[in-house]
Amino acid sequence: MKLILASASPRRVELLAMAGYVFEVSPTDVDETPQSTETSEAYVQRIALAKARAVRCAEPALVLGADTTVVLDGELLGKPASAADATRMLRRLSGRWHEVVTGVAIRRLPDDVQLVTYERTVVVFDELSDDWIRDYVASGEPFGKAGAYAIQGRGGTRITRIEGNYHNVVGLPVSTVIRLLGEQGVGCPTSGILP
């Protein structure tokens, strides 16, 4: 059965390929606006499923959608909208723990069976100076990343502690994906991306 990743994220592409899957990439564009009463878990699961539902395929397939957010004091910190927004997020994260929550959805076609779950990881940042934050934001790395940092990049050098799944913080809890795909009878026989 064909596997389709409903994401344009190079990090998710890399992680899924690293796990040994052969898959196609089908980027989606869904409204990621949180609803006012929505918990972080409900939010990421809803968006992950919306991404999986946005993919159209005429043949049998499994569609994988995922969405990641950072949670600090109950506030969802998504992707920064500007340098000022990235600076604000990083100042708030400085010296504090926060949660990274990723929703994962598998949608089986054509019968539309859906599996949806989430993974939570706790991350702690070192104290970040204004100079470091300014240079980091200027590097461009915070953009397109929930919470304005990349654990697999320069941002990860300032993380002092992590409790939980590292790959979840990168953007795809691979062990969870492997389990869900395994429940659908999909193993990992090879590696690569279909053209």
Residues recognised as catalytic: 67
- The residues facing 189 across adjacent strands are none
Distance from C-alpha of 153 to C-alpha of 142, rounded to nearest angstrom: 10
CA-to-CA dists, residue 113 to 2, 29, 169, angstroms: 15, 22, 27
Q: What token pair was written down for 69?
A: 């957010």
Q: Where are the beta strands (DSSP E) in 26-168?
A: 61-72, 75-77, 97-109, 113-125, 159-163
For residue 151, give the 3-state DSSP assignment: coil
